[in-house]
């Protein structure tokens, strides 16, 4: 789904200040005895704001949207519970202390001021109806205790946009869940306003966590907290790297609160949602470590990326090299596969790219995983031998049924594929035939077709690209490294079975 992050909307409309930790009253509840034992993060939420929708004339449709929003929230809380371990906060810390009557749009219940939630973060969920906006959701914190991190926050859904989406479609629901995880990551600390509040292992603010530096003629911010800096240096192969560049475009909510699109594309914390699959990478997990608010961030959940990996300092600070796959040449490269081979694409500057840094964006009807694509027809299957589905990727070539006149135009098409166990060999299905790739960029002929199909530039790398889960977890779970993790009550390889709660 098309989505522009609305974190700026929250920051501009709501001005909240953090609470000094020494001003929070002490409590003798049982959680004080548990401080030295970290637990999986517990996130609770309140959806009372949605209750009036039950009497709306459009209640049947609105209840369906509400249920999808809550399911996405529930799965996101499960995701972060698996990702983060935290030392439980005191009961007093989890009381709402601010004099503000609302968190975002939601009135604070009186009981939340006198009795703290038995959780590590409590969210107030709201909605707006803004069909003319391109923001599906936004989020931020509304209570933050210095050195401990956020205690209360809000997530707002734009029902005006969501009403036009088929949230029962597992592909669409997966996009919604990715957006919720993105927005909740802002609440957890990924915001330019919060970086000065991050603390080191001694509980003190980081020394110069952000520096300014001019690259490609633009002054930008580089995040240089210890874990992020070490990871970025190793990832790009650049020991001189000042830090990880933050987004410098898109207004106050995008600039400084997201990873720079030109440096790392298709990451969960880019300013605009991925048109393919977002990766929750080591950049973001290390950022969460550097906040100092969390006892442990699960390394095993980091999703491997290759975009810009090993390309050196020049990739970050120099000109964009259109001879490497991360970048492209407009018109000349239109129709070729995108970087991760999700589909054929157009080459353009993009909203958040640096100038002269053109990247590929897949066409709406050539997403290889989408069997509903209007390019997935019997005619195209006959003419090009294509096949769409979760086990398909884009391959460049000039293949054309011999009954048609060949124009030798190199372009990307979707084919089912399979990698062997050591990721060194690739089997591609063209129609009812199978061809084997063992050599990078090899051009392979296929009987009954003129032209050739081209093997990937790096077969080993290609075979390690992120894969889709079976049936996209049936809109009942989240996908992590090819495996579905089901919502409560659902089970099975694709979370399609229901056993009840």
The DSSP code for 162 is H
pLDDT at position 31 is 45
pLDDT at position 51 is 94
Domain ranges of the chain: 7-188, 199-318, 326-468, 470-501
Dihedral of the alpha carbons of 79, 84, 88, 91, in degrees to the nearest 10: -40
Domain 199-318 identical in fold to domain 326-468: no
Number of H helices, E strands in the chain: 10, 26
pLDDT at position 247 is 92
Helix H or strand E segment including 215: strand 210-215
Q: Tell me the fold of 7-188.
A: Elastase; domain 1 (3.10.170)
How does DSSP assign 458-496, residue by residue? -HHHHHTS--PPGGGGGGSEEEETTEEEEPTTEESTTS-
Q: What residues have CB less than 8 Å from 352, skipping those under 6 apart? A: 247, 249, 250, 254, 260, 261, 262, 270, 271, 272
Q: Per-residue pLDDT for the chain (501 aa), expressed as one digit of tens each?
A: 777 787 877 777 887 888 988 655 554 444 444 457 999 999 999 999 999 998 888 888 899 999 999 999 999 999 999 999 999 999 999 999 988 899 999 999 999 999 999 999 999 999 999 998 889 999 999 999 999 999 999 999 999 999 999 999 999 999 999 999 999 999 999 999 999 999 999 999 999 999 999 998 889 999 999 999 999 999 999 999 999 999 986 554 456 899 999 999 999 999 988 888 899 999 999 999 999 999 999 999 999 999 999 999 999 999 999 899 999 999 999 999 999 999 999 999 988 888 889 999 999 899 999 999 999 999 999 999 999 999 999 999 999 999 999 989 999 999 999 999 888 899 999 999 999 999 999 999 999 999 999 999 999 999 999 999 999 999 999 999 999 999 999 999 999 999 877
C-alpha to C-alpha distances, 238 to 215, 259, 432, nearest whole angstrom: 15, 18, 46
Active-site option among 183, 267, 302, 326: 183
341 is in an annotated binding site: no
pLDDT at position 276 is 87
Nearest to 345 by CA among 364, 366, 325, 362: 362
186 is in an annotated binding site: yes
CATH of domain 199-318: 3.90.132.10
Arch. (CATH architecture) of 470-501 = Ribbon (2.10)
Residue bearing tokens 């060194």: 424
pLDDT at position 29 is 46
pLDDT at position 30 is 45
pLDDT at position 28 is 41
182 is in an annotated binding site: yes
Q: The tokens of 318 are what?
A: 């120099």
pLDDT at position 270 is 93
Pick the CATH number of 326-468 from 2.30.34.10, 3.40.50.970, 2.160.20.10, 2.60.40.10: 2.30.34.10
Query: Can you tell me the distance from the alpha carbon of 485 to that of 79, in angstroms, rounded to the nearest whole number?
Result: 9
Examine the residue annotation and report whether 183 is marked as an active-site residue of this protein: yes
pLDDT at position 250 is 57
């Amino acid at each position: 789904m098309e989505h522009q992050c609305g974190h700026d909307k929250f920051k501009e409309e709501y001005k909240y200040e953090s609470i000094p930790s020494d001003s929070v009253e002490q409590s003798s509840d049982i959680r004080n005895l548990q401080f030295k034992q970290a637990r999986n993060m517990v996130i609770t939420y309140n959806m009372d704001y949605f209750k009036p929708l039950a009497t709306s004339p459009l209640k049947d449709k609105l209840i369906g949207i509400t249920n999808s929003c809550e399911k996405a929230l529930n799965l996101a809380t499960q995701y972060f519970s698996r990702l983060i371990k935290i030392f439980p906060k005191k009961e007093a810390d989890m009381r709402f202390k601010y004099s503000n009557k609302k968190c975002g749009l939601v009135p604070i219940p009186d009981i939340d001021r006198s009795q703290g939630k038995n959780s590590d973060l409590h969210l107030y969920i709201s909605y707006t109806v803004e069909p003319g906006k391109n923001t599906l959701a936004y989020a931020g914190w509304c209570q933050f205790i210095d050195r401990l991190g956020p205690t209360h926050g809000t997530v707002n859904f734009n029902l005006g946009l969501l009403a036009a989406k088929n949230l029962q479609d597992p592909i669409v629901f997966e996009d919604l869940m990715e957006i919720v995880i993105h927005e909740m990551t802002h609440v957890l600390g990924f915001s330019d306003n919060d970086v000065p509040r991050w603390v080191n292992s001694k509980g003190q603010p980081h020394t110069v966590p952000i520096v300014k530096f001019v690259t490609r003629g633009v002054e930008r911010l580089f995040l240089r907290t210890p874990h992020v800096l070490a990871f970025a240096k190793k990832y790009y192969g650049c020991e001189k790297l000042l830090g990880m560049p933050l987004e410098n475009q898109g207004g106050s909510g995008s600039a400084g609160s997201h990873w720079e699109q030109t440096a790392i594309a298709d990451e969960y914390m880019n300013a605009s949602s991925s048109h393919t699959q977002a990766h929750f990478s080591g950049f973001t997990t290390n950022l969460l470590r550097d906040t100092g608010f969390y006892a442990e961030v699960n390394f095993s959940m980091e999703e491997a990326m290759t975009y810009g990996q090993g390309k050196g300092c020049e990739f970050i600070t120099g000109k964009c090299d259109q001879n490497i796959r991360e970048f492209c040449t407009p018109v000349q490269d239109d129709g070729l596969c995108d970087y991760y081979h999700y589909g054929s694409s157009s080459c353009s500057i993009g909203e958040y790219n640096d100038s002269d840094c053109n990247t590929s964006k897949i066409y709406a009807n050539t997403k290889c995983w989408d069997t509903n694509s209007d390019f997935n027809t019997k005619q195209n299957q006959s003419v090009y031998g294509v096949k769409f589905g979760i086990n398909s990727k884009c391959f460049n070539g000039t293949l054309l049924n011999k009954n048609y006149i060949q124009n030798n135009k190199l372009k990307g098409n979707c084919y089912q594929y399979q990698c062997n166990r050591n990721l060194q060999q690739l089997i591609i299905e063209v129609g009812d035939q199978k061809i084997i790739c063992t050599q990078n960029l090899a051009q392979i002929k296929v009987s009954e077709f003129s032209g050739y199909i081209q093997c990937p530039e790096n077969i080993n790398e290609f075979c390690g690209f992120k894969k889709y889960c079976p049936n996209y977890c049936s809109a009942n779970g989240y996908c992590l490294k090819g495996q579905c993790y089901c919502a409560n009550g659902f089970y099975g390889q694709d979370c399609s079975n229901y056993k009840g709660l």
